A and B are shown apart, each in its own frame.
Chain A
């Protein structure tokens, strides 16, 4: 079965410090990968998605970037955190184009709560 891992679970960082959040998926190949952010009391907003290694699409301009160095690894980064980067970050995956699994379903990790102080 497929599993998605996201870490760390909680992170407190000072303004201006760098950020690296990691997400990995097991049990599948060529997944589509997504980073979402959830502000307090609100729904999720898509930040980045990737359909393959090195292929990143950005949904909103921001202080963050994403990379996909390996097929099942997705990293969210920042060189200098802002106060407005605080929030809950969720990674998700969905079956890739060549998968036999039911598509159009996204499965989420447990999330990372980021506090920028």
Chain B
């Protein structure tokens, strides 16, 4: 079974600074997908970024980028130029690569952007 670990329950950073959220996972699969989802106070889960394990290039979406280290099974999220609207719970998630499989989530990191 796959597991996802987020070791930082809470983090805070000043507005406009850069912050990195950590995620590690455990799997015996070779083909899989990794995700970061954001859950603001409204509690709707919003996809932030997606990484395909077979791609060596790290995914980027505007101010969000990942550092994907497949051998180390590490998948960190970097938020640049942080904004107040980035305040949210952030969940790392894993999905096997065959069909539309279930998402396995970590326990989340609560990120607070300080004005």
Contacts and interface: CB of A to CB of B under 8 A. Distances in A.
Contact of A104 (B46, B97, B107): B97
A43 B100 contact: no
A46 B102 contact: yes
B8 to A, nearest CB: 14
In the complex, which of the residues A44, A88, A90, A113 has the most CB atoms of chain B within 10 Å of its own CB atom?
A44
Given A42-B108, A43-B107, A110 B43 contact: yes
Contacts, number: 57
B75 interface: no
B45 interface: yes
A97 B98 CA distance: 11
A103 interface: yes
A74 interface: no
A59 B102 contact: yes
A104 B33 contact: yes
A12 interface: no
Contact of B45 (A32, A41, A42, A108): A108
Contacts of A106: 47, 100, 103
Contacts of B44: 108-111
Interface in B8-64: 33, 35, 37, 42-47, 50
Interface in B71-115: 91, 95, 97, 99-103, 105-108
Contacts of B50: 104-105
B108 to A, nearest CB: 6
A43 B108 contact: yes
B54 to A, nearest CB: 12
Interface of A: 32, 34, 36, 41-46, 49, 51, 59, 88, 90, 92, 94-97, 103-111, 113
11 contacts: A42-B108, A43-B105, A43-B106, A59-B102, A94-B100, A97-B100, A104-B33, A104-B101, A106-B100, A110-B43, A111-B44
